Amino acid sequence: MDKERYLITTADERTWKFDRPVLFLTDNCCRYARKNIWSNMDAVVSKPYGVLAAQKNDDLAYIHTVVNQLLIELVEQLNKHHGTNHSSRYWSIVLGHWLLNYVKVAYNRYRTVQQALKIYSINGTMVIDANCYDLTTRDLSEFLGACNDSAWNNVFYSKIIYFLDGSNIECYAGSLGDEVRFSMKNTDFPSWKSNLKNYALNRLGKFFSMFGKEDDVFIINTYMPILYEIKLYLSLGQSPKFWRRQQLDIKEKDSIVRKKFSLNTESHLGFECFARSILPEVIPTCYLEGYNKLVEQVESLPWPSSPKFIFTSNNFYSDELFKVWAGSKVESGTPYYVGQHGNCQAYRGHSFWPEYHNSDKFFSWGWTSNNHRIVPAFIFKTLGRKNKKIDHKGGILLIELHSPSWSSPEDSEYEYGIYQDEQFNFVDALPENIQKELTVRLHSAHYNYHWSDEKRWLDRHPQVKIEIGAMSIEKLISRSRLIVHSYDSTGILETLALNIPTMCFWQGGLDHLLPDAKPYYELLRSAKILVDTPEQAAEMIAMHWDNISKWWESEKVQNARTVFCEQYARLDDEPIKTLRKLLVEG
C-alpha cells in the first residue's frame, strides 16, 4: 500500500497542505494555470470513478431509479409544504431537470470519495466550515454553476466524508470574507449586434402584443431562425410574438422554512440515505421558500391564459418562470410540445430526460423510437442556410469542445484530459504543410471554465492558429475546405445536413450510443467520415488534401451522409407546412 496521504478534495488552495504527501481526489484539483505549484508536491491523483462504458450504463440506470423514487417523495412533500395538489407531471416539469442533475452530482461525489477511502490510506483532510458556507443555490442555473465551484464542492465533499467516515477532518479556520455561498457571476457580455437585435425584437414584441388573445398559441425558443418562427406564427393565422425569457425575482434562503422540510432517510442506506439527507439543504430556493413568489411572478406575466398549445425547444430546462407557467397550463389541459435541442438522440441515458416524458409530443430531427411521444420532424438549426460550396484552397477547421460542466456521474475531467491529448495527437500526426493550414476553434464558452485552453494550445502547438470563439462559426466554415469535429455534436448534424465536407473523431468510439443508433454511425465509419483515432483522421486528410471534394462527392460518402441525415438531420422542402401540421393535429 502507498504511504499515508492527506486528502485534497478541490482546487481551493486554502485547504491544501504543502508539507506532506497528498492525494488529489480528482484531476479537477490540478488547475493548469497552477501547475508550478502542484507539480512540485509529493502528490498522486486518485483513481477516476466511473469512466468504463459498462460502469456508465449501470450508473445511469441506477440514477434513473433513484430520481424516480425521489420525485415521488418530493411531489408529496412539496405539495404538503406549499399547500398545493399538483401532479407528478407538474413537479417533473418544474424541477425534473434539477433533480436529475442533483442526483448525478451527488452520486459522482459520493462514489468518488467512497472509492478513495477504500483504495488509499488517508490521514486527514481540510474542509471549509460548513457552518460558514451555504450549499443552497437559487435556481437550476446557479446550481450548475456551483457544481464547478471549488468552495461549494469542498463543503459538499465534507458532508460525504462525515457521512462515510467522520475522523481526521480539519476545518479551515481562515476567514471566508463575504464568501458565504456560491453566487453566479455574469460573464455573458452580448455584442452590439446582439443588443440591437434584442432591442428590435422587444419593440416588435410590444407592438404585436396589442393583437394578442388569451387563447393564442405560445411559441418560444424553437431553435429555428427568427424568420421561420414568424412564418410559423403566420401559418397558424396568428400575429407573430417575440416572447423572451423573463428575469427571475430571487428570494434568499430561509433556514426556518428549511428545517420544516425533510425526506425520509430511515428506510434507506448508503447513497440513497445520503442523497435524501442533504437534499433539503441543496434544493434551490425557487422551489422551496421562493416558490410562492415564483408563482406570483408567473401570474403577472403577459402570456396567454389559455393557449391552444405550448411549443419550445429550449425553455424546458432552466427557465424557472416558464416551467411553472407551462406546468400549470399542462394541468389545465394545454398540449405541451418540445422540439429537439442539439445532438442528443442517440446517446445513452437520453430517454431519462424529463422533456421526453412530460411533453405530449417531442419533435425529433428525423428519428423515431418506441416512445409514442417521439414525432419525427426535421433539423431546425439549418433552416434558411444554403449549401455552400467549399473553398478548395481553404484550410482545416478543428472544432473544439469546452471542458465539461462537473455534473456527470463519471469523472468527466479525467476524460477531458484524454480528449485534450487526442487533439494534440491529431495535430502532431498532420504533415507540416497541412498544420500551417489548420485553425483550432475553441468553444465560445471555454472561458467559463478553468482548463486554460488557449494557454495549453500555445504551450504545445504555438504554430497553430487559435480562434477563441469570437468569430461566427459560419464565417470560419466558409474559409475552410474541411471541417473536423472532435466530439459527437450538433455541429456534425449541421455540416452533414448542409453537405459540407466533414470528418469526425472522438474518444470512446461508439460506446456512448444506443444500440439502435450504432448502424447509422457505422455507415459514417465505413465512408471514413467518422474515424477511430486522431492519427487515422490525419492520415485521411493527408491522403485527400489536394482534392477533398473528390472524396466528399464520391458515391460511398454521399450515400452514407444521406442515410444518416435522413435519420438524424432530416431536411424538409416545406418545413413550416410540415411543422404546422404536426402542431395542429394534436
Domains of the chain: residue spans and CATH? 202-243+301-378+572-584 (no CATH), 395-568 (3.40.50.2000)
Helices (H) and strands (E) in the chain, counts: 22, 15
Checking DSSP bridges between strand 169-172 and strand 465-467, what pairing results, if any? unpaired
Q: Which residue has the cell 481526521?
A: 168
The reported pLDDT for the residue numbered 168 is 67
Please report which helix (H) or strand (E) contains residue 201, including its range.
helix 192-209
The reported pLDDT for the residue numbered 194 is 56
Q: What pTM was estimated for this model as a whole?
A: 0.94
The reported pLDDT for the residue numbered 169 is 74
For the segment 496-507, what is each residue's pLDDT rounded down to a tens digit? 999 999 999 998
Side by side, which strands form the sheet with 310-312?
218-220, 310-312, 336-339, 361-364, 374-376
Show Cβ contacts of residue 365 under 8 Å, excluding neighbours closer than 6 positions: 340, 345, 376, 377, 378, 379, 380, 493, 568, 569, 570
Q: Report the sign of the C-alpha dihedral through residues 407, 410, 411, 414, in that order.
A: negative
At residue 239's C-alpha, the angle toward residues 233 and 242, to 5°, is 75
| CA separation for the pair 466, 440 (Å, rounded) | 5
Q: Which of 122, 121, 133, 123 is closest to 159 using CA atoms?
A: 133
Q: Is 270 exposed, middle or buried (0-12, 13-18, 19+ CB in 10 A)?
A: exposed
| CA separation for the pair 125, 146 (Å, rounded) | 21
Residues in the chain predicted with pLDDT less than 50, given as ranges, are: 189, 192
Q: Is 98 exposed, middle or buried (0-12, 13-18, 19+ CB in 10 A)?
A: buried
Cα 545 to the center of its chain, rounded Å: 34
**What b/e string do you get for 330-368 counting C-beta neighbours within 10 Å, with b at 16 or more?**
beeebbbbbbbbebbbbebbeebbbbbbbbebbbbbbbe
**What b/e string do you get for 180-215 counting C-beta neighbours within 10 Å, with b at 16 or more?**
ebbeeeeeeeeeeeeeeeeeeeeeebeebeeeeeee
For the segment 34-75, what is each residue's pLDDT rounded down to a tens digit? 999 999 999 999 999 999 989 999 999 999 999 999 999 999
